[in-house]
Amino acid sequence: MYIVLIFFCAFTYWFRSNAKAAFGIDLSPFEWWIYTSLLTTYASLHAWWYMRENYDVWKAGLIWQVILFSVEVSLNMYFFGANPRMMFALGLVFVGICVGLT
């Protein structure tokens, strides 16, 4: 459940950042704040405190950042095309997961 909240936040952050380029949606910063701020704030705080209670701060932060980075790179590759540098960066992240979680 809490991992789903992190994925929801990552997708929302990516959508908010790339909505104009990918979908042609052009909203003001105030409108983005009205539409997405309450949901992402609640979801991210709820997920973070759950992860913080169950893992130490380093593992919780690592899991959080890996999910955010993986979602962002995956969506960028899907909507804007694959790039060898992105694939290399994603590979380094997964190596970092292996090293960080041991």
**Tens digit of pLDDT at every position of the chain (102 positions):** 788 999 999 999 999 989 988 899 988 989 988 999 989 999 999 999 999 999 888 888 888 888 898 898 889 889 988 888 878 888 888 888 788 777
- Tell me which residue range forms the domain holding 53: 2-100
Q: Locate 96 and state its tokens.
A: 């970092």
Q: What gap in Å lies between CA 93 and CA 70, rounded to an integer?
A: 8
pTM: 0.80
CB 8 within 8 Å of CB 53: no
DSSP character at residue 56: -
> Torsions phi, psi of 89, nearest 5?
-65, -40
Q: How many domains does the chain have?
A: 1
Q: CA distances (Å), 14 to each of 4, 10, 80, in order?
A: 15, 6, 13
